[in-house]
Chains A and B, each alone.
Chain A
Amino acid sequence: MQNIDYSIFYKKSFLDYKKVSEFKYDLFISAFNESPRVKEVFKEFGAEEKHWIILPEYAYKETEFPSNGQIFNFKSGLSEADVIINYFEQAKIDDITNKKICIDITGFIRPHLVFLVIYLKHLGLNKVDFIYTDPKSYVKKEETDFSNNCIDKRQIIGCEGISFPDNSNDFLIIGAGYDYQRINDIAKFKNNTTKIHLFGFPSLQADMYQENILKASKARENSASKGDSSFLDNDYVILAPANDPFITAQQIKEFVDKKNLEKPITNIYLCPLSTKAQTLGFALYYIFENESLPMSIIFPFSSNYNRETTEGISKVWIYTVEF
């Protein structure tokens, strides 16, 4: 076990997103989608260079591409690793380890975001800022659909870690968001695990926790390990703020350390399906802990994602990650 205290990582927030115009970064990277949270922040953001990554799963046509910033477009069929590695190869960022870089995680698709974080560490960056903007609400409240049609369930490339043959005490920690069908998919994929739901609490907005529970409970036939009664049982639930990657990582760590002491965990699977901020937290936990535990990040991949699922721009968060 590592002795990292994730809660000491630096973070700050502000209510007026236009403040991002005061920033002075060398490079700003964002993944394009329809959300004003993504487009407005990109427009205002203060940086020497600004890059849009167009992810194939949003299925944008060239005519729909944004007119500001440098565009990096990727064809469908590429893996999350191919997209991110190709981006860095195409972007040819000089002296990247000395650049002041900020990445907007709001529009990223989760597996790409996870691989991006892993890859930044591989590239040797010591410090990167991530930005995340809270929505005011989801478009259709708890009925919001995020992804369609799961086409594959597998480990995220580069996060495959180590697996041991003894699977008598395997755990699956699911960042349980609104997308209950994907929770179903991943719970069925790793059915022989004790499933733990990590819920965003406090949630991004007051009513979202309730909506989240309602939605996630639809998958409980598969995702509640010890029958329905265990769905919200303390032994099977982790709570972490929906917009705090560091506390998310810390809460996962504390939970895993505790369970590992009770009975050695044989394999741990992490599956970030909740907010992007928590997804970042899952990635950080994996980065710092994967050498000491048999661990991997798994994901139910979809062929396409909805371009916009939220309404309004709420708080903006900056997270500073030091690898």
Chain B
Amino acid sequence: MNPFDITKAVDYTNQQLNDYWVDFPVPFEENIKPTSQMPMLILGGKGSGKTHIMKYFSYELQKLRYGSDLLSKIKEDGFIGIYWRCSGINGSRFNNKGYDEDFWKSIFEYYSEIWVGTLLMRILKDLDIISGNKLITEDILQKIENLFDIKPLKQFISIDDILEHLQILDKQISTEVNNLVFSRGSGLSENFKIHISPTKLFFELPKLLSSEIEYFNNLRFLFLIDEYENLLEYQQKYFNTLLREKEHPTNFKIGAKHYGMLTYKTYSSKEEIKEGAEFELFNLDEFFRESDADGKYLNFIEKICIRRLEHAGYHLTIEEFRNMFEVFNIESLNTDKYSEHIKKLKDNLAEILSSTRLKGKSSNKLSKEQIDEIISSISYPQNILIEKANILLIYRNIKKNGFADVIRESNKIKQNIDNKNFDEQNGIISYYKNDLLDQYCRENLKYVPYTGFDTLVKMSSGIPRSLIRFLKEIYRQADFSDEQPFSKKGRISLKSQLLAIRKESQAIFEDLGNSDRKVLRTLKRIGSFLQELRFSDLPPECSISIFRLNITDTSIEVDNIFKILLDYSYLIEVSDRREKNSNLKDRTFKLNGAIAPIWELSLAKRGVVDINRSELNSIIDSEEDDFKKQLEIIRKKYNFPFSNAITTQKTIEFDAEY
């Protein structure tokens, strides 16, 4: 059984959610603050764990956690969690059909009351049974009945009567809404009545329970409203209003994807809800990423994995688990077999012999013998990083001085090697080590070595589900290759990891969810642009994956494209908090690590590439052929023979302005 087969909290039963729960090193309770008076907006990318966390604070999981101590433990918790998944209400049916927003708002308000009443009464019923039917008296039932504007046909003598009444009303509303399409604008049927006014069950019922039943004194009724993105804008506006005007002991925690907040408006004199005043913001994946620096995120992820493995029958320590993943090690590679990088340099230099395109670059052409001498001078197969650094030194020299000086440079390198003086190379390696290694692997082995558990954690970029997905696919590949993954004797090969990452990166990319072609094309082009730079002969920066838009006054369209890319977690902002402003200037971004392997980008956070206006214009607006031309310009600028870079760059200063 694949321990990572299930990747989504929604596919777990409550029991599984409880069994697989792993708390963060700083407990989630400290961040979610379930007893706080302040409502909270919990934002997170797809797979960041919102649902699991919100469900953890729900009554259903409180019940599983506390078993026979439920009543006393809930009192200790200080809250009852009422979990509401917005997708269930099927909000789109309360829309259009020839009716305006005011019409639908009144129906939706009413329907929401019925739903919240049902959710709350089901919990009350359960608590009442557990308490030995001591909580809900006839008097309370009567008072609940009095909350309704229209008396129910059958008097409430039990909670079941209330639930039955609510179900009848639910059916009435649903049927009415369904059939409106057939009545073609002639409105609701005559016998349709609204039985309860807004907020009677959201606010008044908790107040009643709190004031009339001792057990509920000082208990908060915490509505955990998940998947907010599934509500229509006016519906969110209504809930925002409830959040703004909440009355003790009701409170709200609202969970949404980053793109899920369609509005912050309310129906209260058109006021907006504001962070700090009406709600607290908890940005989940950002929180995870920020916790990456001190190892808390890694620690959390390791525990998740170990818990999964235990449930699947694999009992490993964290160290055993981490060591399961073979890590690419250049020292264990027989580097004598691989010389593509040397060949590439030789071919490049040989081109000088035959090329006419280098005219004017230098009057000094290289002879075949001279090329052989250069290659011999810089070759150092004992240490592939030194050898790669030597090549980089040659390219630097050519870029600076043309070909006049290249023989001298290669002789100098040779002399340094003979004297075991690697100062210059080590300077390069300290800065470009990962890039040299990745370039070497790409040129010789045809892959970039994304291997090892730490790499996977980096790739997850604060989205635990991404890591689970990679592990699921890695297990599958390793199992297929008979590597006995996660058994004591097992080991997960480089090949299994690489195959899985290649496959799953693409799948995650396709699954992130936005289908706007221009947005996706922009992302792909940014990826290609950075890839071109990273694997050039003289990369402008080390560990390329971060870019900055060095542009003022971007258009609304560009702002919107980048907002979507961020909201859907294709891009991750790496700017400091103080740099985050509403426009794009000087903000820095990187590709989500889970999709970075598609473009073979670095996972490190080091070099920042500036994208200028003409490059951005080309990325966003140009036709495919024109974008390819732009890439070709980049290629010439940063690759041997570096000759056309400056002159050509001038020719592509676009006239286009935003």
Report which A residues bind B (CB closer than 8 A).
79, 81, 85, 119, 122, 149-150, 152, 154-155, 157-168, 170, 184, 188-192, 221-222, 225-229, 267, 296
Contact of A160 among B88, B177, B476 (CB under 8 A): B177
Q: How far is the CA of A296 from the CA of B87 in the complex (A)?
A: 13
Contacts A221-B507, A222-B511; A161 near B89 (Cβ below 8 A): no
Q: Name the residue on A nearest B517 (C-beta).
A: A149
B90 near A85 with CB under 8 A, answer no
B90 near A155 with CB under 8 A, answer yes
A-B contact pairs, 10 of them (CB 8 A): A157-B97, A160-B93, A163-B88, A164-B167, A165-B118, A166-B122, A167-B85, A184-B511, A191-B8, A227-B11
Q: How far is the CA of A161 from the CA of B513 in the complex (A)?
A: 28
Q: Does B184 contact A (CB under 8 A)?
A: yes
B88 near A162 with CB under 8 A, answer no
Q: A293 to nearest B CB, angstroms? A: 12
Contacts of A191 in B (CB 8 A): 8, 10-11, 87
Q: Does B119 contact A (CB under 8 A)?
A: yes
Contacts A81-B181, A85-B184, A222-B511; A229 near B92 (Cβ below 8 A): no
A163 near B90 with CB under 8 A, answer yes
B90 near A296 with CB under 8 A, answer yes
B515 near A150 with CB under 8 A, answer yes
Contacts of B84 in A (CB 8 A): 165
A226 near B170 with CB under 8 A, answer no
Contact of A167 among B7, B88, B96 (CB under 8 A): B88
Q: How far is the CA of A226 from the CA of B8 in the complex (A)?
A: 9
Contacts of B92 in A (CB 8 A): 152, 154-155
Q: A321 to nearest B CB, angstroms? A: 19
Q: How far is the CA of A188 from the CA of B465 in the complex (A)?
A: 15
Q: How far is the CA of A158 from the CA of B180 in the complex (A)?
A: 8
Contact of B11 among A150, A184, A226 (CB under 8 A): A226
Q: Does B182 contact A (CB under 8 A)?
A: yes
Instruction: Flag B145-186 by CB within 8 Å of A: 1 or 0 each.
Output: 000000000000000000000010011001101110110100
Q: How far is the CA of A175 from the CA of B296 in the complex (A)?
A: 44
A162 near B175 with CB under 8 A, answer yes
Q: Name the residue on A nearest B166 (C-beta).
A: A165
Q: Does B5 contact A (CB under 8 A)?
A: yes
Q: Does B2 contact A (CB under 8 A)?
A: yes
Q: Does B115 contact A (CB under 8 A)?
A: yes
Nearest first, the 9 A-B pairs at minimum CB distance are A227-B5, A154-B92, A160-B93, A162-B174, A192-B10, A160-B178, A167-B88, A165-B115, A165-B118
B511 near A149 with CB under 8 A, answer no
A122 near B182 with CB under 8 A, answer yes
A192 near B174 with CB under 8 A, answer no
Q: How far is the CA of A168 from the CA of B167 in the complex (A)?
A: 16
Q: B257 to nearest A CB, angstroms? A: 11
Q: How far is the CA of A154 from the CA of B97 in the complex (A)?
A: 14
Q: Name the residue on A nearest B174 (C-beta).
A: A162
Q: A162 to nearest B CB, angstroms? A: 4
Q: A301 to nearest B CB, angstroms? A: 10
Q: Does B220 contact A (CB under 8 A)?
A: no
Which residues of B (84-138) have their CB < 8 Å from a CB of A? 84-85, 87-90, 92-93, 96-97, 115, 118-119, 122
Contacts of B96 in A (CB 8 A): 79
Contacts of B88 in A (CB 8 A): 163, 165, 167, 170, 192, 267
Q: B316 to nearest A CB, angstroms? A: 21
Q: How far is the CA of A165 from the CA of B90 in the complex (A)?
A: 10
Contacts of A229 in B (CB 8 A): 1-2, 5
Contacts of A157 in B (CB 8 A): 97, 181
Contacts of A163 in B (CB 8 A): 88-90, 174
Q: How far is the CA of A45 from the CA of B207 in the complex (A)?
A: 68
Which residues of B (180-238) have their CB < 8 Å from a CB of A? 181-182, 184
Q: Name the residue on A nearest B94 (C-beta).
A: A160
Q: A265 to nearest B CB, angstroms? A: 14
Q: How far is the CA of A114 from the CA of B122 in the complex (A)?
A: 35
Contacts of A167 in B (CB 8 A): 85, 88
Contacts of B115 in A (CB 8 A): 165
B6 near A227 with CB under 8 A, answer yes
Q: Does B303 contact A (CB under 8 A)?
A: no
Q: How far is the CA of A267 from the CA of B115 in the complex (A)?
A: 14
Q: B136 to nearest A CB, angstroms? A: 19
Q: Does B469 contact A (CB under 8 A)?
A: yes
Contact of B5 among A166, A188, A190, A228 (CB under 8 A): A228
Contacts A221-B507, A296-B90; A227 near B2 (Cβ below 8 A): yes
Q: B477 to nearest A CB, angstroms? A: 13
Contacts of B6 in A (CB 8 A): 226-227
Q: B117 to nearest A CB, angstroms? A: 9
Contacts of A160 in B (CB 8 A): 90, 93, 174, 177-178
Q: A209 to nearest B CB, angstroms? A: 24
Q: Name the residue on B nearest A148 (C-beta).
A: B515
Q: How far is the CA of A192 from the CA of B55 in the complex (A)?
A: 13
Q: How far is the CA of A81 from the CA of B88 in the complex (A)?
A: 23
Instruction: Flag B465-499 by CB within 8 Å of A: 1 or 0 each.
Output: 00001001000100000000000000000000000
Contacts of B511 in A (CB 8 A): 184, 221-222
Contacts of B182 in A (CB 8 A): 119, 122, 158
Q: How far is the CA of A158 from the CA of B92 in the complex (A)?
A: 12
A158 near B118 with CB under 8 A, answer no
Additional pairs, 9, CB under 8 Å, beyond known A155-B93, A163-B174: A158-B179, A160-B93, A160-B174, A162-B174, A165-B84, A166-B122, A190-B87, A221-B469, A226-B11
Contacts of A149 in B (CB 8 A): 515, 517
Q: How far is the CA of A192 from the CA of B11 in the complex (A)?
A: 7
Identify which of A155, A188, A227, A229 gathers the most chain B CB atoms within 10 Å of its CB.
Answer: A227
Contacts A149-B515, A226-B11, A229-B5; A165 near B178 (Cβ below 8 A): no
Q: How far is the CA of A158 from the CA of B87 in the complex (A)?
A: 18
Q: How far is the CA of A166 from the CA of B120 in the complex (A)?
A: 11
Q: How far is the CA of A119 from the CA of B87 in the complex (A)?
A: 26
Q: How far is the CA of A160 from the CA of B182 in the complex (A)?
A: 13
Q: A286 to nearest B CB, angstroms? A: 11
Contacts A192-B88, A221-B469, A221-B507; A162 near B171 (Cβ below 8 A): yes
Q: B518 to nearest A CB, angstroms? A: 12
Q: How far is the CA of A47 from the CA of B511 in the complex (A)?
A: 48
Q: How far is the CA of A85 from the CA of B170 in the complex (A)?
A: 27
Q: Name the residue on A nearest B226 (C-beta).
A: A192
Q: Name the residue on A nearest B516 (C-beta).
A: A149
B184 near A192 with CB under 8 A, answer no
Q: B569 to nearest A CB, angstroms? A: 14
B178 near A161 with CB under 8 A, answer yes
Q: Name the residue on A nearest B116 (C-beta).
A: A165
Q: Name the residue on B nearest A163 (C-beta).
A: B90
Q: B648 to nearest A CB, angstroms? A: 37
Q: How far is the CA of A267 from the CA of B118 in the complex (A)?
A: 15
Q: B414 to nearest A CB, angstroms? A: 54
Contact of B170 among A79, A164, A184, A188 (CB under 8 A): A164
Q: How far is the CA of A267 from the CA of B93 in the complex (A)?
A: 16
Q: How far is the CA of A167 from the CA of B119 in the complex (A)?
A: 11
Which residues of B (1-26) have their CB < 8 Å from a CB of A? 1-2, 5-8, 10-11, 14
Contacts of B97 in A (CB 8 A): 81, 157
Q: How far is the CA of A225 from the CA of B476 in the complex (A)?
A: 18
Q: How far is the CA of A222 from the CA of B122 in the complex (A)?
A: 30
Q: A235 to nearest B CB, angstroms? A: 14
